[in-house]
Amino acid sequence: MLIDTHSHLFLEEFSKDLPQVIERARQAGVSYIFMPNIDSTTIESMLAVCEDFPDFCFPMIGLHPTSVNEAYKEELAIVYEHLSAPNNFIAIGEIGLDLYWDKTFLKEQLLAFEKQIEWALEYDLPIVIHSREAFDYIYKVMEPYKNTALRGVFHSFTGTLEEAVKCLDFEQFMIGINGVVTFKKSVLPEILLSSVPLERLVLETDSPYLTPVPNRGKRNESANIKDTFSKVAEIYQVSLERVSQVTSENALKVFGISK
């Protein structure tokens, strides 16, 4: 059993061959695919994919930080409308801060992040955190919630050793590992081995992005989680079965899904 805890298979990149992409994922051993939302423009397509592949694809709802702008309140209102209606969302995500491209809306990103954390606690849902060039801000926002029921995933972790240790301070959070761990110049393997127990990891692809070696440069898809999976087993020097069991149990626990 493998779980892709973060995949955007509802995007345009998969519009022509999604059934084949799903079948390749199944053949690779993937049991579930969790889908984080981006903004109001992606909700419909995400829900449609999850409807077409029930019990395999599961949706989240949230506003991605790169979609936060002067109209963020309207976007958040749409998120809350979906959240408060009958739904099958398994998390609020992906949410957080992204200061890599633009810092113009930092204040608005912070407000949107905090509001969505409040909703996660209100609806007892995990959060999936996007953090790019923004870890210190993320940590400062989250620190007051350290001893609350808040749980979730630090998605696509590529931070420093110090940041990894700080993530582990949040005992109900997992660290999401994807194809970056296979990149030749990545220091992630050393950081994981030195400071992060396997019991705190979940696997993800972030499809169509961050394709692992040996297919780096091509469109990513959920079947490629097998390459990240193999690399994690190599790093920790444990069996593939062990990595599959532990990371899947971690994902099911955080997202509140029964086998």
Could you tell me the two tokens for 219?
A: 């469109």
Q: For the segment 32-72, what is each residue's pLDDT rounded down to a tens digit?
A: 999 999 999 999 999 999 999 999 999 999 999 999 999 99
Q: What pLDDT does 107 receive?
A: 97
Task: Specify the fold of 2-255.
Answer: TIM Barrel (3.20.20)
Could you tell me the two tokens for 17?
A: 């061959």
| Spatial distance between the Cα atoms of 215 and 138, rounded to a whole number of angstroms | 31
| Spatial distance between the Cα atoms of 9 and 206, rounded to a whole number of angstroms | 9
Angle between helices 161-168 and 188-195 (to 10 degrees): 40
Strand order, beta sheet including 30-35: 2-4, 30-35, 57-59
Predicted TM-score (pTM) of this structure: 0.97
Confidence tier at 101 by pLDDT (50, 70, 90): confident
Confidence tier at 140 by pLDDT (50, 70, 90): very high
Q: Which helix (H) or strand (E) holds 127?
A: strand 127-132
Q: What pLDDT does 150 receive?
A: 97
In sequence order, the β-bridge partners of residue 58 are 34
Domain range annotation of the chain: 2-255
Q: What percent of the chain has pLDDT over 70?
A: 100
Nearest to 9 by CA among 32, 27, 28, 29: 32
The sign of the torsion formed by the CA atoms of 136, 41, 85, 256 equals negative
End-to-end CA distance of the chain, in Å?
A: 10
